[in-house]
Amino acid sequence: MGQTGIGIMENDEALDIHYLYFEKYNAGKSPSEIENWFRSQYPSNFSQELIEDNSNFWIGLAMTQWETGALSPFVNKMILQIIDRDIESDLWGDEYVERKKHLERFYKKISKEKKSPKKPVKQRLFKAPFKKGDIITSPIYTSEKKNYSDKWGILICLGHSEGLQKTAKNLFLKTTFCKNSPATVADVNEILVNREDDEFFVNIFRFSLTSLSKEIGDFDHLDKLQYVGNINIEKSFDMSLYPGGGGWRNSGFPDSKKTIPLNEIINKPDSPYTEWAELIVLLNSLPNEEERNKYAKEFKKVSEFMSDMKNKDLAEFNSVFVPFIENYMCLTYIGYTLEGIDHTAVHGG
């Protein structure tokens, strides 16, 4: 992890631990439940000999526990050992004398109970502003001028997160539509999608609303998005596979020279592989081990189908099936996705 300074919390790993702790603390977990979670996620840190590579883990955990008035004797002992055994001496070299002063001050600080421990902060929850199939028109944002132009474009919502979430998400398809006025429902028939460089993923972006959205101006951009209507989208899309677009801005693709109709993106093709594509999208979208275990039969079904196909005709698998799935999911490479399904089928969620 990156070290940005000699200070106690000037380290990426310490900050990551601090963030994870407060994420769970603010969600209502008790300090003991959180420590048990860290034990399950970082078992080697709790079982192996204390080394310089995990000292920042203990520093981050000690800081957060102390801030919430719940510093455990075990974690406190680890900080003392880091100092007494000079665990970080090789890591810091000539700067260790100064670093050790920071460690000693830190230990002195956490050895006294914090007078006003931090209380859980109620998390703000958000709802995705648009639903799957929504047609959205907005001015086209130009990165060169860092402002909106007088041209209007169209976004198609391919998916949305359900209910209230800490991070509400919409998945949008950017189109080549570009006119001098806001789009209408009648313009939907004219929608084309950029296909110039054979990289679908440049057209699909995930936009998010979080507790930072107001601070970074997301709502200002969101205000410029106007609902036009809704169309049926037959295909399923896994939002986790696509990059974040940032800022709820429509940059569009008005200058594309090679395009395809919108229907090729949103409608299910007539193919024997379509049902497999839908199943692969579903399985890949499952968020955790518990959910994946519910679909153990489906993981095994897909894995066995792919294995049989490879054994019977490897050429068709590589030149027909895989490209079909990539086209279906609008991605240029899905090797890791298919490998993940095989791995889950064999080893479980």
pLDDT of residue 320: 96
Residues 278 and 260 in one domain: no
The reply to whether 313 falls in a domain is yes
Q: Is the separation of the CB atoms in 155 and 175 below 8 Å?
A: yes
The reply to whether 120 falls in a domain is no
Distances (CA, A) of 283 to 57, 242, 277, 297, 349: 33, 16, 10, 11, 11
Six-digit token string for 173: 């398809």
Q: Measured between alpha carbons, how far is 60 from 180 in angstroms, rounded to an integer? A: 53
Six-digit token string for 38: 């860290």
Q: From start to end of the chain, where are the E strands? A: 126-127, 134-142, 147-160, 164-165, 168-174, 192-194, 204-209, 226-230, 259-261
The reply to whether 117 falls in a domain is no
| Beta-strand relationship, 204-209 and 192-194 | unpaired
Distances (CA, A) of 25 to 19, 65, 120, 306: 10, 10, 6, 43
Q: Measured between alpha carbons, how far is 160 from 147 in angstroms, rounded to an integer? A: 26
Nearest to 339 by CA among 294, 280, 288: 280
Six-digit token string for 58: 């203990």
Residues 342 and 215 in one domain: no
Nearest to 21 by CA among 62, 52, 51, 50: 62
Domain boundary among 78, 110, 142: 110
Higher pLDDT, 51 or 83: 83
Give the count of domains, the chain: 3
Residues 146 and 171 in one domain: yes
Residues 158 and 220 in one domain: yes
Domain boundary among 266, 299, 331: 266
pLDDT of residue 239: 92
**What mean pLDDT, rounded, does the chain reach?**
89
Residues 141 and 238 in one domain: yes
Residues 208 and 300 in one domain: no
Residues 213 and 322 in one domain: no
Residues 101 and 26 in one domain: yes
Higher pLDDT, 216 or 299: 299
Residues 295 and 225 in one domain: no
Q: 20-67 pLDDT, tens per residue? A: 999 899 888 999 999 999 999 988 888 866 766 789 999 999 999 999
Six-digit token string for 340: 């993940």
Domain boundary among 85, 110, 135: 110
pLDDT band at 246 (very low <50, low <70, confident <90, very high): low
Is the confidence at residue 201, as pLDDT, over 90?
A: no
pLDDT of residue 1: 44
Collapse the DSSP code of 103 into the 3-class scheme (helix H, G, I; strand E, B; otherwise coil) and give the result: helix
The reply to whether 115 falls in a domain is no
Collapse the DSSP code of 269 into the 3-class scheme (helix H, G, I; strand E, B; otherwise coil) and give the result: coil
pLDDT band at 198 (very low <50, low <70, confident <90, very high): low
Residues 137 and 248 in one domain: yes
Is the confidence at residue 115, as pLDDT, over 80?
A: yes
Residues 259 and 290 in one domain: no
Q: Residues 93-102: what's their mean pLDDT?
A: 93
The reply to whether 116 falls in a domain is no
Residues 153 and 241 in one domain: yes
The reply to whether 118 falls in a domain is no
Is the confidence at residue 211, as pLDDT, over 80?
A: no
Please compute, for residue 39, the number of CA atoms within 13 A of its CA located in the half-sphere on the CB side: 10
Q: Measured between alpha carbons, how far is 51 from 35 in angstroms, rounded to an integer? A: 20
The reply to whether 36 falls in a domain is yes
Q: Residues 306-332: what's their mean pLDDT?
A: 94
Q: Is the separation of the CB atoms in 203 and 253 below 8 Å?
A: yes
pLDDT of residue 155: 95
The reply to whether 67 falls in a domain is yes
Domain that includes residue 280, residue range = 274-347
